Amino acid sequence: MASQQHHFTLPDALAAIRRQPAGTHFYAHTRCELPIAGDDGKVFPALASVHISRAAALKLARDLLPESFARRSGLLPCGIYTSDTPESSYRGFYIG
């Protein structure tokens, strides 16, 4: 599996999402803090990826990088993962 990590401006992120070929799987990276029972104030960091549609990926990029932040050169971390084997072909686009 090959991976490429990018930090996109908002216009570049939207363009990258739009130009992904049909069949690309889109994901949002999430991070949650799960409270630990009996340990007040302590949490367990949980990381996950949520499968989303292309339309949701476009909305997520706009929501994570609002115009005010984009004007101050804010960047959105994204990753593109590909795997081509004789058995299958996979392409994933991760946001966050």
Rounded Cα gap, residues 5 and 27, in angstroms: 14
Tokens linked to 94:
């991760």
| Beta strand 89-95 pairing with 25-35 | parallel
Which pTM was predicted? 0.80
pLDDT of residue 74: 87
Per-domain residue ranges of the chain: 2-95
- The model's pLDDT over 10-56, given as tens digits with 9 standing for 90+, comes to 999 999 999 999 999 999 988 888 888 888 889 888 888 999 999 99
